[in-house]
Amino acid sequence: MSPMRATPTVAGARFLGLGSWQSEHVVTNADLEKRVETDDAWIRSRVGIAERRIADADTSLTSMATAAGAAALTDAGFDPAGLDAVIVATCTMPNPIPNAAAQVATGLGANGVAAFDLNAACAGFSYATAVASDMIRAGSARHVLVIGAEKLSDWVDWDDRSTCIIFADGAGAALLGPADGEDEVGVGPVSWGSAGDHASTIRILGETTNKLHQEGQAVFRWATTAISPVALDAVERAGLTPADIDVLVPHQANLRIVEAIAKKLRRHGAREDMVVADDIVHSGNTSSASIPMALDHMRTTGRVRSGDVLLLVGFGAGLSYAGQVVVCP
């Protein structure tokens, strides 16, 4: 028997294109005042959100993911027929079978490629990026489309002011491809982990309402203490220092959490002019979609430029978290 022929490995992976999708339907804080006991000042002071985008009932999660993925492919000038794999990070598919990724791949015209969903909740895009990068580095794939897509509006109790003010819908995507030389590597090693002892802080109450429940204060305390060490470890694994980071793009969970993470990084040497993503103000918390959407929006508005060194940090109530340095395409 002849020995197996190994697929050639590459130096690493890089981002080739970005894309996103959001509904045109904007729900403002004033709109929520009409339904629950709250007001604009209260919402802004606690979570920093002014408005959020909510998809209509006929818009599926897979259609959102497909639109974002198509935008990333167009941005990269890449033919979907050349894809080797599609990964959809999501925690809000209405049913676990069939998965989103296979449907998205077919919708994009990439029939027959490897396709799977990944559920790490708000850390999903960071996890999926790490998996895609390792697939490319090992030679299992050359071009992988990573999509974070969530339709949280289906799982929110719109009469619960602790959650309805926070969550929203959207999708963001990135195309990853090979970096054939060490000087082209654009995705650093991942720093990741989990803490299942926080399982009660955010969960779907399937036994009662089938709606999202969150222990807001517990999440805030955990995120503001546990995430900055993960971010610093990701920077170190990439062979960099905090001063090398141009843009911090954490999961858009809560503006106060985002600002707290940035403040701690600056205490460890990050520059005062480091740009900090604040997409949550106008997009709300879109879980796994928040990082790629923020990236795409910031690049569109010129706040992120090609070649910038980005620190991505995903975290979801302590169950899963990840940090990774990437270079903007």
Just list the catalytic residues: 122, 251, 285
DSSP at 187: B
Q: Rounded to an integer, what distance in angstroms lies between the CA atom of residue 310 and that of residue 165?
A: 28
Structure tokens at 249: 């793009």
Q: Rounded to an integer, what distance in angstroms lies between the CA atom of residue 50 and that of residue 157?
A: 19
Structure tokens at 187: 């995705």
Burial 22-52 (b: 16+ CB within 10 A, else e): bbeeebebeebeeeeebeeeebeebbbbbbb
Amino acid identity at 278: D
Bridge partners for 192 per DSSP:
322
- Other CB atoms within a 10 A radius of the CB of residue 306 amount to 9
Amino acid identity at 175: L
Q: With 0-12 CB in 10 A as exposed, 13-18 as middle and 19+ as buried, what is 57?
A: exposed
